[in-house]
Amino acid sequence: MNTSTLTLIASSIFPVLLTFAFGILAGKWKHFSEADAEKINRLILLYTLPLGLFFGMMHIPKQVLLGMGPQSFWLVLALALAYGIPWLVMRHLLRRGLAESTLQAMVMGTPSILFIGFPILTPLLGPAPTTLLVVVSGLIQNLLVLPVTLVLMSMATDPAGHAASFTTHVKTVVKHPIVVVPALSLLLVFLEIKPPEWLIQPAQLLGQATGGLAIFSAGVVLQARSIMFRPSTIYPVLVRNVLIPSLCFAGLKAFGASPTLTREIVLTMAIPTGSIALVVAMKYKTMEGEVASSVALSTMAALVTMGAFVALTA
């Protein structure tokens, strides 16, 4: 791995670490508390994230969605297995609770492609492949992984002890803006209905704040609880940063995938865990400290692990 590649990775990840630091300092100086972080999280869930997804979807050409090829198939498979297998292992093999299994699966299975995918992958893979990879990842995470996670967390934190039916939880979740807005946006793209720019631009203004707000609130939570170095925070990072991209590399090689395809999928799956996992943890007031620690550790470790996978797939 040459110096320019290392500089590229560092320059993409450093702003994330610096935003963590701002959140930590804001908490230390008593400018923001955990209660304030929860309010920021509410802003993210109800406004900035849905509007950001709306803006992003409205700028995806229909032909990009219709022209998805082998990269899409392998990426969808990788993302689904990266979330599904850890959940099954945590829930049925290790006998963890539903909430813990779901949040840990999200930490391990949701790379932060939407927030840092473009700055990291574009110089390495080119603009066209990166756009496709980010679009597909966004669709899978927002239309499949996130709704499933919300349903499972709703069931896990139900004060009635899961008394409500599965259908009831699903009906509650599908009304949420972070589920409704991406689905509606996808429909508009396929119907080739584009809202006026005066409606799209405000969505961009608020939507662009999502990543920074989520990471800042994570810093506030970390300051209140400090980074936790324990199995529940370290093992998910090892799975996210090392095991999953390694298995993708081995699997694609075994199936005879081209070096280009292998590089695209492996580098996408090597991106550190996304702050959306913490957004969900804070929404349901479950394992906030552990998830915030994993997000921070995964981001810091990516300075080394992503560089290793860049060299491996070169």
Q: Would you kindly state where each structural domain of the chain is located, as residue ranges?
A: 3-312
Q: Can you name the CATH fold of 3-312?
A: Na+/H+ antiporter like fold (1.20.1530)
Residues near 169 by beta carbon (within 8 Å), at least 6 away in sequence: 151, 154, 155, 158
Q: Exposed (0-12), middle (13-18) or buried (19+): which is 43, by Cβ within 10 Å?
A: middle
Which residue stretches of the chain are H helix? 3-28, 34-43, 49-58, 62-66, 70-88, 98-109, 113-125, 127-140, 146-156, 166-173, 177-190, 197-207, 210-225, 231-238, 244-254, 259-269, 276-283, 288-312
Give pTM, 2 decimals: 0.83
Q: What does each of the 314 residues of the chain score in pLDDT, given as a tens digit?
A: 567 667 777 777 888 888 888 999 999 999 998 889 888 888 888 888 888 878 777 777 777 666 667 788 899 999 999 999 999 999 999 999 999 999 999 999 999 887 777 778 888 888 778 877 887 888 888 888 888 998 899 888 876 655 555 676 677 667 778 778 878 887 888 888 888 888 778 787 888 888 788 888 888 888 887 788 899 899 999 999 999 999 999 999 999 989 999 999 999 999 999 888 888 998 888 998 899 899 889 988 988 898 889 888 87
C-alpha–C-alpha distance, residues 242 and 266, integer Å: 10
Q: Are 103 and 287 in contact (CB under 8 A)?
A: yes
